[in-house]
Amino acid sequence: MPDPVRLSGSFGLYLTLPFNCGFAVAYAPGPERLHRLHEIAAALNAETTGYVWRAEPLTAVPSLFLAKGGVLVGVPQRREATQQLVARAFASEAIGAALVGEVVEEVVYFDHGVGSVTVSIEGVVDNAEALPRLQQLATRLLADLESSAGKPKLLVDWPAFRATFRDALARTGDLYDCWGMLASGGDGRGRIMCVGNNAFVRAELAGPLVVDRADLVDIVSPFAGLEADVVRNLAPLWPGAQYVACGWEGQIAIVNSPQAEHTLRWCWQFAANYWALITDLDAYIYQQTLESTRNQLDPAQAQRAMVRIQCIELAIDILTHESLPNNFGDQGHEVAIYKAIYESWETDRFLVGIKEKFAHLSVRFAALSAVVSNRSQQRMNVVMLVFTVLTFASVIADVVSAIDSSGTLLDTRTRVFLIVFGVLSATLLATFSFLLRDPRRSSERHRVARVDAAKAAIGR
């Protein structure tokens, strides 16, 4: 064998099920954010959620996430159901793999309202021929975890957890309505229909399984869902791994050290979270686009819609920056690994779709602004008309009194006639004046300006 690689036979599966709360922990610099996460964890532990919560600092992760300070982690108080589910899947698939140790289930809240239920599974194979079949086992596990019988507790009790989490953030002063949903009377979002499917195969200097380096591609390509002649090693110069591959079906690495596995675990989870968040934002904007087809909106509804659109605009700006591969990390292997996921999952296509849909909402924003502005102007016009009429009536009464201070020149009927005639004349004059100053003209200029801005955004 010209270039042998020794494998220990040990492998790990790291499965993630993303969710989106629809609201987020308010922004704070790294150290301050970690302190706030500790407070939020304490607030959650004071409630009955079925999980024990802690704030976990981030170390040895891409630079973008070091600045976030940490994540919120919840460990279920009972894990027997997940352990039994995984054991049944190993026995059912019979790919030549055995379950080792306890299954680790956690909930990891990341940022921007998104997080994941993560399941870490350890196993062992006694021959290298079983390794290309890990995708079969992982697919079965994911299907079982998403079934009604095997769904993790947090996803089963999602409305209750979401409400508890929202209340905890409100009590600690960290609640941020990132998409404007809460201000509109909404409850938030939910489970995002995508998964993170990841695997580690461990290399060892004295490992019992020996394969040729050229055959590593046959081990990793089935898990990534790629043909062997298409898959490529994403980090060939990284000492931490022999081979790293990713595709639409999943990510897999043949790693040399626990440190490399730690780095990849976070890289893959963050990449899945960003993709899940972007696709969910795309779906949410589509819902808002459908909502905008309603012809009749009262000013209160229009005001709430405008708040949502402004929040969405800010969310798009933040996600566009953070999700770009060049902003992901400082190390070459980090950027290369994330870039491959970014491209294979067609993330850029979703970002383009989001911006195009938002351009429509920008035009809608102009129309909503006109609705609110016109209604406010109409109310102001009525108020001004009333004050004008009352003022004119008072002036006429004062003039009549000054001319006939003694009350002998004009009788009561004539006085009333002059005042009424003057008031009616003032009313007609004021009404004619307000008609000439039609507020819809200025609103139209405002709408045209917003349309031009939206077209410019599409061009960018």
The pLDDT of residue 438 is above 60: no
* Residue 320 covered by a domain: no
- Answer yes or no: is 335 within a domain: no
pLDDT class for 1, splitting at 50, 70, 90?
Answer: low
CA distances from 368 to 84, 309, 450 (A): 54, 10, 11
pLDDT in tens, 239-286: 889 999 999 899 999 999 999 999 999 999 999 999 999 999 999 988
Cβ count within 10 A of residue 369: 18
Residues 20 and 156 in one domain: yes
pLDDT band at 447 (very low <50, low <70, confident <90, very high): very low
Out of 244, 264, 296, pick the residue that ends a domain.
296
Q: Does residue 336 fall inside a structural domain?
A: no
Note whether 291 and 370 are same-domain residues: no
| Cα separation, 10 vs 98, whole angstroms | 10
Which domain, by its residues, includes 449?
Answer: 362-459
pLDDT given at position 358: 85
- Give the pLDDT score at 367: 66
Whether the pLDDT of residue 436 is over 80: the answer is no
Does a structural domain hold residue 154? yes
197 lies in the same domain as 107: yes
Provide the number of structural domains found in the chain.
Answer: 2
Tell me what pLDDT residue 307 has: 81
Q: 98-145 pLDDT, tens per residue?
A: 999 999 999 999 999 999 999 999 999 999 999 999 999 999 999 999
In angstroms, the CA 282 to CA 301 distance is 22
Task: Indicate whether 53 and 156 sit together in one domain.
Answer: yes
Q: What are the DSSP calls for 352-388, one per residue? A: HHHHHHHHHHHHHHHHHHHHHHHHHHHHHHHHHHHHH
Q: Is residue 201 part of a domain?
A: yes
Highest mean pLDDT among 34-48, 224-238, 382-396: 34-48
Among 134, 172, 214, smallest CA distance to 32 is for 172
Kindly state whether residue 324 falls inside one of the protein's structural domains. Answer: no
**Residues 289 and 373 reside in one and the same domain:** no
Quick check: is 304 in a domain? no
Q: Do 291 and 399 reside in the same domain of the chain?
A: no
* Of 456 and 87, more confident: 87
- Whether 123 and 262 map to the same domain: the answer is yes
* One domain, residues 100 and 209: yes
pLDDT band at 223 (very low <50, low <70, confident <90, very high): very high
Return d(Cα 265, Cα 285) in angstroms, integer. Answer: 30
Q: Which of 87-101, 182-196, 395-409 has the lowest mean pLDDT?
A: 395-409
Q: What is the mean pLDDT of residues 47-57?
A: 92
Give the residue among 270, 264, 230 at the shortest CA–CA distance from 247: 230
Kindly state the tokens that stand for 328. Answer: 């992901």
pLDDT tens digit sequence for 273-322:
999 999 999 999 888 888 777 666 666 777 777 788 888 989 999 998 99
Do 260 and 137 lie in one domain? The reply is yes
DSSP codes joined into one string, 131-152: GGGHHHHHHHHHHHHHSTTT--
391 and 264 within one domain: no
339 pLDDT above the threshold of 50? yes
Are 39 and 155 part of one and the same domain? yes
Residue 262 placed within a domain: yes
Domain boundary among 296, 313, 330: 296
Q: For residue 135, give Cα distances in angstroms to 70, 148, 458.
A: 31, 22, 40
The counts of H helices and E strands in the chain are 13, 11
To 5 degrees, how large is the angle CA 18–CA 24–CA 30? 100
Rounded Cα distance between 402 and 391, Å, is 16
- Asked if pLDDT for residue 459 goes beyond 50, the answer is no
Which residue reads 């999602």 in tokens? 158
Name the band, by pLDDT with cuts 50, 70 and 90, for residue 391.
Answer: confident
Average predicted confidence (pLDDT) for the chain: 85
pLDDT band at 386 (very low <50, low <70, confident <90, very high): confident
CA–CA separation, 198 vs 84, rounded Å? Answer: 21
Same domain, 140 and 221: yes
Q: Which of 278, 296, 314 is where one domain is finished?
A: 296
Q: Does position 453 have pLDDT exceeding 60, yes or no? A: no
Lowest mean pLDDT among 77-81, 120-124, 223-227, 423-427: 423-427
